[in-house]
Amino acid sequence: MLYKLATRKHIFVEIYIADICTCSKQAPFLLGSDFLLWHILICSIKMPEGPELHLASLYVNKMCDGVVFSGPVIKSEVSKNPEVAFTCDSFRITATSRGKEVKLTLTPMKSDDDGKRRSKGGQADQHMDIVFRFGMSGYFRFTSEDEVPKHAHLRFYTKEKPRRVLSFVDTRRFGSWQPNGTWQPDRGPCIMFEYKSFRENVLSHLSDRAFDRPICEVLLNQKYFNGIGNYLRAEILYRLNIPPFVCARDALEGLELEDEFEDGKPVKDEITDTKTPERAKKKGMKREAGDVLRLCHTVPLEVVSLGGKGYDPEKMDYSAFEAWLRCYYVDGMKSVRDHNGRTMWFKGDPGPMAPKDSKSPKTKKRAKKDDDHDYTEKKKVAKTMKESTTKKRVVKKETPKKEKPTHPKEVVSKRGKAEKTQEETQQSETKSSARKKKNSSVEAAAGRERRSGRVTRKNSK
DNA sequence: CGTCCACGTCTAC
DNA sequence: TAGACCTGGACGG
């Protein structure tokens, strides 16, 4: 499977071969193709739920281990986020994550020069924390200087000769950062790495009006579920067969404050099950063992264990993650817009608090009075998903738009070779981005075997 | 070409 | 409880 992946993505492999060579010392525990694979997968993280934010922090720590950065931190012109006033001759970068936030720590290195204090940057001695939120499209990427991706809105440059760059990339610019920031105070404990306090925080506040809402909507409340996002809520509720629109308090009260869940074991079992579907799914029994709160912890950790292929339909290897999904965006599942307009994926009974009006996501804003049958199953539009590579030559110009007409400098450094590589990458993406409601019987095309396998497994249930 | 949709917050009626 | 904030891919005509 690993090799299949590597083969399919050979273009990408080539693109990053340079990075791998220069950075391989950072991951001595990984050898040869394993490192290659790790690198590839980790590079594909561009999506914002708890697991991906954590993987992003791992990525930064891995890639920047031993790397010396220097100079000012550069913000793109178009970004409305604050400038990062940090200039230092030599500093290191480390990262940590908590729920749906990542904190970068810039640490000045001990300069042996005695009297020579850095006159330039006043705060050269002081480390700085920058707290990031990823919005819908944020991710970190460490590249050579001329391979800085489009939409790299904050950049940290290395000190060495041919410089390299750690970039915060954010296509849609919904992401944000705060220099000298702290974890956002209103966000609860991390669902993955502060399980005990997360659990306590929820169970000790069940009288909060927030829990009057349907469970699926409360799961997106970062005050209590810091790290849960739209795909995770679907997967968690699906595994326990909890109707998404039951009152959250009803679903949560009665749970024990203490959960002697042992880290590692359940997660491991879970993974094993995934790899041996014939065993696990035989009797249609989903022995997930655990309540909602525990699954809010273990399910995200499964994604972390997948090794880096987080949610990212458009980019890179998506197949393993796609295969992991059992409900979100899966053929045969139902979907409804919740009260906040977010698509909730589920199976079976929607629950008593389901929105009465907006049935399917299609009926967003349109007064379209088309026949409103109940919660629409995902229609299987048997459309031949032929390789729509026809539009590949559409070299999009990527104009910085108006927003800052005076400074059309948004264009980072993408020209010549860099630009080409980008485009090649995108092309390979479009090919493998088979998502949507393709009928599984139709494809037969390459690159879908994993997903097909998953669907089959499901159906056989 | 246009419409719909997307992994998330934010703030303003 | 609506928009607002954004870009870009898929799909329809």
Nearest-CA residue relative to C1' of C11: A436
| A368 in a structural domain | no
Q: Are residues A274 and A314 in the same domain?
A: yes
Residues A442 and A417 in one domain: yes
Same domain, A223 and A293: yes
The answer to whether strand B lies under 7 Å from the CB of residue A252 is no
Indicate whether A444 belongs to any domain: yes
Q: Which of residues 112-151 of A touch strand C (CB under 7 A)?
A: 136, 150-151
> What one-letter code names the amino acid at A105?
T
Domain membership flag for residue A376:
no
Is A216 found in the same domain as A174?
Answer: no
Q: Are residues A277 and A414 in the same domain?
A: no
CA-to-CA separations, A435 to A82, A126, A328, A346, A359, in angstroms, rounded: 36, 47, 11, 17, 21
Q: Please confirm, yes or no, whether A48 is among the known catalytic residues.
A: yes
Count the neighbouring beta carbons within 10 Å of the beta carbon of residue A39. 25
Q: Do A333 and A297 reside in the same domain of the chain?
A: yes
pLDDT digits (tens, 9 = 90+) for A343-355: 999 999 999 999 9
> Which positions on strand C lie below 7 Å from a protein C-beta?
1-3, 5-12
A318: confidence class by pLDDT, cuts 50, 70, 90: confident
* pLDDT score recorded for residue A320: 86
Residue A145 maps to a domain: yes
Q: Do both A438 and A300 map to the same domain?
A: no
pLDDT at A120 over 90: no
The verdict on A81 and A211 lying in the same domain is no
Same domain, A103 and A222: no
- Give me the CA A361–C1' B5 separation in Å, rounded: 9
Count CA atoms within 13 Å of residue A58 on its CB side: 18
Mean pLDDT of A101-115: 82
What is the three-class DSSP state of A94? strand
Residues A75 and A155 in one domain: yes
Classify residue A307 by burial, with Cβ atoms within 10 Å: 0-12, 13-18, 19+: middle
When comparing pLDDT for A443 and A355, which is higher? A355
3-class DSSP state of A169: strand
Assigned domain for A165 exists: yes
CA distance A99 to A109: 29
Residue nearest to nucleotide B8 (CA to C1'): A135
Q: In the predicted model, what is the mean pLDDT of residues A333-341?
A: 97
What span, in angstroms and rounded, lies between the C-alpha atoms of A364 and A192? 33
Expressed as residue numbers, the domain containing A397 is 389-459
User: Does a structural domain hold residue A251?
Assistant: yes
Tokens, residue A245: 């629109």
Same domain, yes or no, for A256 and A327?
A: yes
Strands (E), A9-137: 69-72, 74-75, 87-98, 101-108, 128-133
Could you tell me which residue, A26 or A69, shows the higher pLDDT?
A69
Which residues of chain A between 22 and 61 are close to nucleic strand B, CB under 7 A? 46-49, 52
Chain A residues 382-411 with Cβ under 7 Å of strand C are: 383, 385, 388, 396, 398, 401, 403
In a shared domain, residues A259 and A346? yes
- Report how many domains make up chain A: 3
More confident residue, A401 or A144: A144
Whole-angstrom Cα distance, residue A95 to residue A106?
9
Q: Which residue lies nearest C6, CA-to-C1' measured?
A: A172
∠ CA A171-A172-A174, rounded to 5°: 125
Give one DSSP letter per residue of A210-229, joined into a string: GGGSBHHHHTT-TTT-BT--
Q: Note if A49 is an active site residue.
A: yes
Residue A277 CA: distances (Å) to CA of A2, A112, A299, A303, A446: 18, 58, 17, 17, 22
